Homo-oligomer: A and B are copies of this chain.
Amino acid sequence: MTEAVTDFPIENLPYGVFRDGTGIATIGVAIGDRILDLRRSTGAGLFDELPTETRRACGEGTLNALMALTPGHWHELRARLTELVIAMAEVESYLVPMQDAVMLLPAVIGDYSDFYASIFHATNVGKLFRPDNPLLPNYKYVPIGYHGRASSIVASGVPVRRPAGQTQAATFGPTGALDYELEVGFFVGGGNALGTPIPIESAEEHIFGVCLVNDWSARDIQAWEYQPLGPFLGKSFATSLSPWVVPMEALAPYRVPIYARPAGDPAPLAHLDSAANRERGAIDMMLEVEISSAKMRDTCIPPFRLSRGNFKELYWSLAQMVAHHTSNGCNLRPGDLLASGTVSGPDAESRGCLLELTRRGADPITLPGGEVRRFLEDGDEVTLRGYCERDGLPRIGLGECTGRVG
């Protein structure tokens, strides 16, 4: 990654956890192609003006303690980081080259909830199964979601093993319909007590930051198992996360009006609607998926872009998902992960998974080099990217979420 196109200018300052030279899990802040070691720089006194709880959280090996603080704490830390990084001299000795660091999962993830917030994704998938009635009647009223598996969430770069499973009556074997899903994840910061919903007005204050999520899916296992209790083994074999958590504050300059519901669509119910949420807006963030096959890598063919969409086109906002999730009193905890579901847009090129792109294999894709894909083959490497760009502002990126099927 050259300095010119870095995802991590000083306006970004995302948090991650890396294993340092001594093998200790350490919180870091990405700056260009280097990582500021928060443990060592805190120990050296660079954050002595901040509250004890912030400094203590900066010395941990996961982000959970930092997430558990308030947006005020996050803002103070970010302001001090900005000040230090602009001056640069003081932090120079605490910078680690990114290429020397092994990135880990950024937090201990208690629960992982996955939504279905793109109406384009829901419609495209629905069309494959119910051509005359693709969208179920609850879709425009309820931010549909389900509980995902937390144990099998892995950091970007961890290989993904092709799962075996039941794909129809009396058949068990390796999936023949392995897919990726392009999603955006958001980490819960401060949680809520069981029984106390988070109102939509303050829902975003409970979000620490965002990352990329690849919700790997075995479509044949999923199709056979999912009635009536939803996806289970079709998805629980692996979920990949990009290692850097971009603070909500870094994304503030890229807010745009929320998705405009088409005329005739119902307005969100009162507990899912607020002027504050509407004014805050959606996040204008490009999202891309690339694939490279083993053959492409062997023959020096660069990765091929499968799709490009935008995060702003979600039917349900992050705040609506948080408010809905807690509307029954369900408690969220610092480090819990919520994800958007597959982000697809209205255009054919913005479909965020192969199920949609190939219409369940009916329209295969030809890769450069001549290979054909209905679903993923062994050796395929899928990379997700996300970034915000706007005239006069630096590019703010989420980094990469990558995984190879092997």
Contact = CB atoms under 8 A, between A and B. Distances in A.
B333 A164 contact: no
A136 B223 CA distance: 13
Q: Which range contains the number of A residues in contact with the other chain?
A: 35 or more
Contacts of A332: 151
Given A147-B149, A151-B333, A225-B138, A165 B327 contact: yes
Interface string A200-218: 0000000000000000001
A123 interface: no
Interface in A364-394: none
Nearest to A109: B110
Contact of A330 (B113, B236, B331): B236
SS of A interface (majority) = loop
A136 B231 CA distance: 15
Contacts of A172: 269-271, 327
Contacts of A231: 229-230
A324 B113 CA distance: 22
A148 B112 CA distance: 10
A328 interface: yes
A147 B327 contact: no
A162 to B, nearest CB: 9
Chain multiplicity (copies): 2
Given A138-B224, A170-B266, A238-B194, A327 B145 contact: no
B324 A233 contact: yes
Contact of A151 (B137, B141, B144, B336): B336
A149 B147 CA distance: 7
Contacts of A336: 151
A116 B225 CA distance: 12
Nearest to A150: B111
Nearest to A330: B236
B329 A237 contact: yes
Interface string A247-275: 00000000000000000001001110000
A164 B328 contact: yes
Contact of A325 (B146, B148, B233): B233
A116 B328 contact: no
Contacts of A269: 166, 170, 172
A339 to B, nearest CB: 12
A327 B164 contact: yes
Contacts of A150: 110-111, 150
A296 interface: no
Interface of A: 110-111, 113, 116, 136-138, 141-142, 144-152, 154, 161, 163-166, 169-170, 172, 194-195, 197, 218, 221, 224-234, 236-238, 266, 269-271, 324-325, 327-333, 336
23 contacts: A136-B227, A136-B228, A141-B170, A142-B166, A144-B228, A145-B232, A146-B229, A147-B148, A149-B330, A151-B194, A152-B194, A161-B194, A163-B329, A166-B269, A194-B237, A226-B229, A228-B230, A234-B328, A236-B328, A236-B330, A237-B329, A237-B330, A238-B329
Given A150-B150, A226-B228, 8 more contacts: A111-B150, A113-B232, A116-B229, A138-B169, A218-B328, A230-B231, A236-B328, A237-B328
